[in-house]
Amino acid sequence: MTARPKPRVNPRERSFVRGLLFGINVVATLSLAAILTLLYLMPDRLAQYQMNAQMAQMVTLQIVSLLLLVAWLQRNLSATWRAFTLGAAFVVLAESWLVALT
């Protein structure tokens, strides 16, 4: 059997996708740090944003799910880790739904 040749990807497209994933990763990480700071260090500020602790936990879990999805899109991970991060992203997202329902 002969190996299939890899499709050629324009370097500009590749760098755009990498930059986009990097930007999403940075924004999601900063958002996670901000919501965790509000949740655990400044719970009185949550009331100013009209959020309760349950809503903050739900947002935290959704941001973690987004970070796991961004990790799934990375090409330098092995297939096993990519499958794990995709599964974990959906587990965390389902947990955020359960937090929202309670």
Ranges of each domain in the chain: 12-101
State the DSSP code for 50.
T
Read off the pLDDT of each residue in 77-90 and give the average, rounded to a whole number. Answer: 91
- Distance, in Å, from the CA atom of 86 to the CA atom of 2, rounded to the nearest integer, reads 30
**How does residue 65 score in pLDDT terms, banded at 50, 70 and 90?**
very high
pLDDT tens per residue, range 6-31: 666 666 777 887 888 888 888 888 98
Model-level pTM? Answer: 0.74
pLDDT tens per residue, range 22-60: 888 888 889 889 888 888 888 888 888 888 888 888 989
